Amino acid sequence: MSASQDYIRDYMSDPVIDAAGAALVIIDMQYATGSRQGALERSLKAQGSTVGDYRFARIETMVLPRIVKLRQVFHQLQRPVVHVTLGATQPDAADAPRHMRKLLASCSNYVGSREHEILDELKPVPGEHVLRKTTVGAFASTAIDSLLRSLRVDQLYLVGVSTNMCVETTAREAADRGYQVTLVEDGCATTFEELHQVTMRNFQRLFGRVASVEQVTAELVGDA
């Protein structure tokens, strides 16, 4: 082992790619925090802040078009597409955990609001599944586990926002439940590039895999 090699890689199991067990999980691609037209960016701009510039530029130029492309691949393979949304049932977000209430309420992210809606480019179509969570990770507050098991899914490909929060937490939850998880690197975004990169580096140490849309497409279509 070289001095620069990470020892933990020796304990990683080799992935078994099988399109018949795969599902695409799209996390929180909603107007509240996933669009430049949404509440988060409007609030930042009102404060004179440019901190959201990297996030929304990445979503617009890379993440959104790649998720659209990858969703088409899953449709072609006739494999499940699961949309996970974040949001409360009421404007005051009283049904959300304490640490999530201010974020949801400030972004007007509740059922029935425009902010809660999934981006038009990714609007769910018949046959796709939609689950709403109030927590950072999807497994803590939705029936995603029972849904995936009923669909005979054991391999997840995760995309969406934010890389180091809802995407990563859901991915870790899934890995701990026995799913083979792939984070699609160019299908995820967050506010700071370093957070995105560290998340990808840490996740693939033991939890799962990191791959690009191009790589995922090649392995799944080639396997089908």
Among 159, 176, 173, 148, which residue's Cα sits nearest to residue 80?
A: 148
Q: What is the pLDDT of residues 149-202, one digit of tens each?
A: 999 999 999 999 999 999 999 999 999 999 999 999 999 999 999 999 999 999
What is this structure's pTM?
0.95
Q: What is the pLDDT of residues 118-130, one digit of tens each?
A: 999 999 999 999 9
For residue 83, the model assigns a pLDDT of 99
Mark 180-212 as b/e (b = at least 16 C-beta within 10 Å).
Answer: bbbbbbbbbbbbeeeebeebbeebbeebbbbbe
* Domains in the chain, CATH or no CATH each: 18-37+52-87+118-223 (3.40.50.850)
How far, in Å, are 85, 104, 158, 217 from residue 71 at the CA level? 16, 27, 11, 10
For residues 213 and 150, give the distance between their C-alpha atoms in angstroms, rounded to a whole number.
Answer: 26
For residue 13, the model assigns a pLDDT of 82
Q: Hey, what amino acid is at 27?
A: I
| 9 — pLDDT class (breaks 50, 70, 90) | confident
